[in-house]
Amino acid sequence: MLSASASVVPLPSCGIATLASLSKTTGVVQLHQFAESLGHAVDARDSDTFNHSWEVAELSRMLAEALGLSPKQAETVHLAGHLHDIGKIGVPDAILKKQGALSTEEWSQMKRHPETGAAIIRPVEAFRGKGGIADMVLSHHERFDGTGYPHRLKGEQIPLGARIIAVADTISAMLQNRPYRRGTSFPAVVAEIRRCAGTQFDPEVVFALETIKGGVHRYLQRNSQEHQVEALA
């Protein structure tokens, strides 16, 4: 359980300098539009995950700001959130939309999507650099205790942006219906993330979520209502 007195100021970690320098890159608006488009391309493949990348991007920005990152740094994490699942373009529909549990081989293919995604975007110069956007995409399924994938990074070896996206991704994924399960409630999602602080998730990011969970919940409710209206239009 996290202490209410815990600091939300992010500790020194890889990626901060890269975020700051990227925020000054010319053409950042065009890069953002590019990232949004690619995120929509992934989400469009599956009606169950429609709007997922957009939601992860928005939640990532909220968490980054709660951690004390500058607006420009938070915007860069937001951009990476749009792109976090771009590697799923390389996952066959038979696996991506499977109704039941994945086989060992299918799960092995699914787990390659962070590496595929990083390889897709790394040719973009602005996305390169230690702890930058390509590294965030590569590392968003790493776990704080070092048992994640693809490289079993641990703690602050994981780019801060990836640690933020990991929490945002889990919030969105647990709330949404998937072929193999129904979505769960927001309080249950927060409780599960809290339980996994220090193992799956960075405790500092989890504490940041605790400080803004009311605002996060309101955003998710509003986003869900807007999505329903769009679906009926």
Taking the C-alpha atoms of residue 197 and residue 206, their distance in angstroms, rounded to an integer, is: 6
> Taking residues 146-166, what's their average pLDDT?
98
| Confidence at residue 26, expressed as pLDDT on a 0 to 100 scale | 44
Taking the C-alpha atoms of residue 128 and residue 118, their distance in angstroms, rounded to an integer, is: 9
Token reading at 73: 């740094």
> Taking residues 190-194, what's their average pLDDT?
98
Taking the C-alpha atoms of residue 69 and residue 85, their distance in angstroms, rounded to an integer, is: 23
Arithmetic mean of pLDDT over the chain? 83
The least confident of 74-78, 123-127, 152-156, 194-198 is 123-127
202 sits in which H/E element: none
> What are the pLDDT digits (tens) for 88-102?
988 998 998 888 889
The residue among 170 and 125 whose pLDDT is bigger is 170
Percent residues over pLDDT 70 in the chain: 78
| Confidence at residue 207, expressed as pLDDT on a 0 to 100 scale | 98
> Taking residues 203-226, what's their average pLDDT?
92
Closest among 105, 90, 8, 77 to 42, alpha carbons compared: 90
Statement: residue 7 has pLDDT above 60: no
Q: Residue 141 — pLDDT band, cuts 50, 70, 90?
A: very high
| Confidence at residue 38, expressed as pLDDT on a 0 to 100 scale | 72
Statement: residue 8 has pLDDT above 50: no
| Confidence at residue 67, expressed as pLDDT on a 0 to 100 scale | 98
| Confidence at residue 177, expressed as pLDDT on a 0 to 100 scale | 74
Residue 98 region by backbone torsions, left for phi larger than 0, else alpha for psi between -120 and 50, else beta: beta
The residue among 177 and 185 whose pLDDT is bigger is 185
| Confidence at residue 59, expressed as pLDDT on a 0 to 100 scale | 98
**Residue 226's CB: how many other CB atoms inside 10 A?**
11
Q: Which sequence spans correspond to the domains of the chain?
A: 16-232
Q: Which listed CATH number (1.10.3210.10, 1.10.3720.10, 3.90.76.10, 3.90.226.10) goes with 16-232?
A: 1.10.3210.10
Helices (H), the chain: 16-22, 28-43, 52-66, 71-83, 93-96, 104-110, 113-121, 133-139, 160-175, 186-195, 203-232
Contact at 8 Å (CB) between 207 and 2?
yes
